[in-house]
Every structure is written in C-alpha cells, then in structure tokens.
Amino acid sequence: MFDRLFGRKPALDGNALPVVRNVTLGRTVTVDPLAWRRFGSELLFPFDRDTLVIVAQGLVDLNEGGFVHRFYTDDDIMFQAVSNDRDGQDVTDVTLFAPWDSAYPSSAAERPAWKSRLKARTFTAEGLPEYSRSWFGPEASEQDPVTFWEELHDDRDGIVDRRIFQTCMLFSRDLPGDDGRELLLAIDMENEAGEVSFEIMLGVALELGEFRA
C-alpha cells in the first residue's frame, strides 16, 4: 500500500542486489585481524573490530565496464569491492574504509576550496600526516577527481532508496614493512536534496583470503 501511495516502483527482474564473494546486505563479514593489525601503531585507520554487520549496500557504475560494490555498517564502516561486472563475480580489488572526519560547509565558498584539495598532488588534514595521490599518479600538479552517482539500498529488493553524487580522490602513504600502505579517500558528497558534506575516510587493502561472509 505504501509503495503505491508514495510512488515506489516494484523491483524489475534481474535487479536484485549482487552478492559479491558471498557479501551482501543483511550478512556479516569477518575480517582477518592480521590484515590491519600487523601494521601496529603506525596505522591510523580507526578500526577496532573483526566483524561487520552489513545494513546498507551501494552500487556504482563507472561507465567504463567497471563497478564498485559498497557495503556499510550502521556506523559507516565501508567494505568495498571493485569488479569488472555488475554481478561482482570478477573482483579485482577489495578495501576496508572507516570514517575519519566529516564537515558540513557553512557557505558555498567552501566547496571550491575543498575540491581544489582533491586535485592536489598531496593531501593532509588535522591529525594526519601527508598522503600522496594514488589515482593517476603524482606526475601532474593537479588532477581532476573522479565523479559518479552511488545508488544505495536499504533492503534486497533491488529498488534504489537514495542516490548520492560524489567527487573523490584516493591518496595513500607508505607504512613500515613490506607493501604496507594506508589509504585516504577524500570525498565531496551531495545527496538528491542538495545537502553537501566533505568526508575523509582511512582504509587498507584486503586480499581475497582475508575476509569471509
């Protein structure tokens, strides 16, 4: 009844949410604690658990044959998988991100300054060291960020509950030890109501064997 009153359309066949490496909305993901604890105090990534209860799921179509699958906890921990297909069967990259800081601009003048920071070769913020641009490489002094719409779902019927437009750039810094890197995702986020926030998330890359659902 409520769907008819408020115009929510029934899900189309084939639009059910993807299950990516057995991860989907409503399931629990267990992460190998060594995946991030091995870096010790050098890692600023604010993560303090080994299990994630997934309460929302996002899907990004990169329009170049790639897809980003995002799975969220109720406190905005983000488990992310990149795949070559919408169904998430050909996964190429898995990362785990946790929120570091959120800011809400008080005037329109703040937004260009934030987007300029996303273009820069390096990024830092209060309480953080310097991170170098990871996407596109450090050669150019400025690089346009990546933009996309993320479709978010609160249940598994395949109906989009909300959409968020994002302008973002990925940065990283080396950690002691072999192949140790901490990621920083800086985002300009705008929902369909025009509400804007600036987000910083810290994260680590995961191997396919370092989690299970």
> For the segment 139-157, what is each residue's pLDDT rounded down to a tens digit?
899 999 999 999 999 998 8
Whether residue 14 has pLDDT greater than 60: no
Quote the tokens at residue 56: 């929302």
Q: What residues have CB less than 8 Å from 142, skipping those under 6 apart?
A: 119, 120, 121
What mean pLDDT value characterizes the chain? 88
Selection from 56, 50, 103, 104 nearest residue 76 by Cα: 56
**Predicted structure pTM score:** 0.89
Q: What is the pLDDT of residue 65?
A: 72
Q: Which of 34-48, 113-127, 193-207 has the lowest average pLDDT?
A: 34-48
> How confident is the model over 102-108, as a mean pLDDT?
92
Q: Which of 4-18, 68-82, 126-140, 174-188 has the lowest average pLDDT?
A: 4-18
Q: What is the pLDDT of residue 170?
A: 97
Q: What is the pLDDT of residue 158?
A: 84
Q: Which residue has the higher pLDDT, 176 or 24?
A: 24
Confidence of residue 5 (pLDDT cuts 50, 70, 90): very low
Q: Which of 1-5, 26-30, 95-99, 174-178 has the lowest average pLDDT?
A: 1-5
Q: Are 135 and 168 in contact (CB under 8 A)?
A: no
Eight-class DSSP state of 88: S
Q: What is the pLDDT of residue 99?
A: 95
> How confident is the model over 116-136, as a mean pLDDT?
95
Selection from 44, 42, 70, 22 nearest residue 187 by Cα: 70
Selection from 46, 62, 38, 43 nearest residue 200 by Cα: 46
Q: What is the pLDDT of residue 64?
A: 77
H-assigned helices in the chain: 2-5, 34-37, 110-119
Quote the tokens at residue 154: 């609160």
Confidence of residue 26 (pLDDT cuts 50, 70, 90): very high
Neighbours of 33 (CB within 10 A): 12
Selection from 213, 197, 127 nearest residue 165 by Cα: 197
Q: Which of 12-26, 146-160, 198-212 has the lowest average pLDDT?
A: 12-26
Q: What percent of the chain has pLDDT over 70?
A: 92
Q: Match 């302008």 to its residue by tokens.
A: 167
